[in-house]
Amino acid sequence: MYHSVVWDEPLLKELEEIKKEKYILMSVLPESLQRKTIIDIPDLDETQVMRHFFHLSQMNYGIESGFYPLGSCTMKYNPKICEEISRWEQFALLNPYQDESTTQGTLRMMYELEQMLCEITGMDHFTLQPAAGAQGEFTGLLIARAYHESNKDAARDEVILPDTSHGTNPASAAMAGYKVIEIPSTKEGTVDLEMLKKALSDKTACFMLTNPNTLGIFESEIIEVARLVHEAGALLYYDGANMNAIMGKARPGDMGFDIVHLNLHKTFSTPHGGGGPGSGPVGVKQKLERFLPVPWIVKKQDTYCFDYAHPDSIGKIKSTYGNVSVALKAYIYILLMGGNGLKEASEIAVLNANYMKKKLVDSKLYQLPYRELRKHEFVLSCEHLLSTKGIRALDVGKRLLDYGLHPPTVYFPHIVKEAMMIEPTESESKKTLDIYIDTLLKIAQEDPSLVKSAPQNTVVQRIDEIGAVKNPILTWKNLDKTKE
């Protein structure tokens, strides 16, 4: 606790000493290095600085502040106990280069988490190394390449994906050196089997898919998709970022997927967003096991250790062993929830999404393209609002801010015009969902000029989002210049 300073005699003396030291230092510095003008930095006391930063922190929005239905992002409640345990010094102060004999608990946790993820997804072996979903995709695609090369089938240089796929899918495929082939979806919003058949060839390395897809629709033809892909000699890749919809209900391994990545930082108790840390473990079927990154975590009798003896491995993907604290949170979360708890979480996530969807669609103010039944998220279109009132999805999102609510994802997936993608998750009450629904309905009936000029009640109004990314202003000096 700080009290206001009393400038008594000893303190003044001390200050004099400090000044003297400063002058001595100045005198030993060569003239050329000495400052000629007074340094131009803000002159603020500790209280002001504290209030400034506290105020800034309040301008931020997180799941702790309110409902965050950002479709495709699974912004759900992350139990605080997972956060707390992951900060225990027994875990947080470990050094990755410590002798294995001193880190048995953490190694056991990682080993057991891999087993749990195998059980949840129906895969045979997992690595915890990748630090994000996108890095998981990249890892999975390198594994696919290693597999085809080992089969003397290296000419396979194409990755197929549907037009609903998340942007990281084509990006990862391109980064891994593949040609990206996009196929259009059916009118139902699912994989078009005819298009898939046409695209598959002896050049196909992999078909990447998320199920449920980014429209929130379960790919009910998945068994046939898997059959076609395998018949063509290719592999089936599962983007598990939407796992929150099907935990305990269906397993990608049983659907025929060969490679899976999960976003622990969505489904398994780590906040998503803000740049990390994240974790995108990759699971594979037995035939791909030998290509997994090293080291593996193995158990020899009662001892856990790292195992590097895998000559066919794609090598190392991330420094040391991945983001272990994120893995730890997932481990605690899975133990806390248990199998039935995970299943129930998915059931409620799906229920919440379908409740919201029904109320919004019944209003006829927003439209639902493609198939009716959704899983954990749904995508509405604001096309009708645009044609009748000139209101776009972006305007609705901005207007929500005036009501203190976070907007949904907009303009994704690209195949839906004026898309608004809502993912309520399992951790929200009916009351919260009702408030959001009522607000969306209200906005659709408001004066268009009000909606199009929103937000009015926020610190900043409409920002140049592209400019903000391309030319970020991150210091007070630059900020000042923009005012000049």
Q: Which residues make up the interface to ligand PLP (CB under 6 A)? A: 72-73, 132-134, 166, 168, 210, 214, 239, 241-242, 263, 278, 280
Strand (E) or helix (H) holding 478: helix 476-483
Q: CA 482 to CA 484: how far, in whole Å?
A: 6
334-337 long-range contacts (CB < 8 A, ≥24 apart) are: 334/113, 334/116, 334/120, 334/268, 336/79, 336/81, 336/82
Helix (H) or strand (E) holding 147: helix 133-150
Smallest separation (angstroms) from ligand PLP to the CB of 264: 9
Query: Which strand (E) or helix (H) includes residue 405?
Result: none
Pairing between β-strand 419-422 and β-strand 378-381 as defined by DSSP bridges: antiparallel
* Residue 131 or 382 with smaller CB distance to ligand PLP: 131
Q: Which is nearer to ligand PLP, 72 or 185 (CB)?
A: 72
CB of 70 to ligand PLP, least distance (A): 9
| Helices of type H across 363-457 | 383-389, 393-402, 430-444, 448-452
At closest approach, how far in Å is the CB of 168 from ligand PLP? 4
Task: Determine the 3-state secondary structure of 362 from DSSP.
Answer: helix
Among positive and negative, which fits the CA dihedral 162, 166, 168, 147? negative
**Shortest spacing between CB 393 and ligand PLP, in angstroms:** 18
Which run of H or E residues covers position 237? strand 235-240
**Residue 146: CB minimum distance to ligand PLP, A:** 22
Q: What is the DSSP string of 323-346?
A: -HHHHHHHHHHHHHHHHHHHHHHH
State in angstroms the smallest separation of the CB of 197 from ligand PLP: 24
Q: How far apart are CA 414 and CA 166, in angstroms?
A: 10
Measured from the CB atom, the residue of 391 and 408 that comes closer to ligand PLP is 408
Q: Which C-beta is closer to ligand PLP: that of 133 or that of 189?
A: 133
State which residue, 122 or 280, has the beta carbon closest to ligand PLP. Answer: 280
Closest to ligand PLP by CB, 73 or 327: 73
Nearer to ligand PLP, 176 or 241 (CB): 241
Which C-beta is closer to ligand PLP: that of 266 or that of 357?
Answer: 266
Least distance in Å: CB of 41 to ligand PLP? Answer: 36
CB-based burial, 125-159: b 16+ in 10 Å, e otherwise: bbbbbbbbbbbbbbbbbbbbbbbbeeeeeeebebb
**Closest distance between ligand PLP and the C-beta of residue 437, in Å?**
23
Q: Measured at CB, which residue is nearest to ligand PLP?
A: 133
Adjacent-strand bridge partners of 367 = 381
Residue 63, token pair as written in the block: 């799941």
Min. distance of Cβ 212 from ligand PLP in angstroms? 10
Give CA angle at 122 (119, 127), nearest 5°. 75
* DSSP classification of residue 243: G
**Nearer to ligand PLP (CB atom), residue 217 or residue 232:** 217
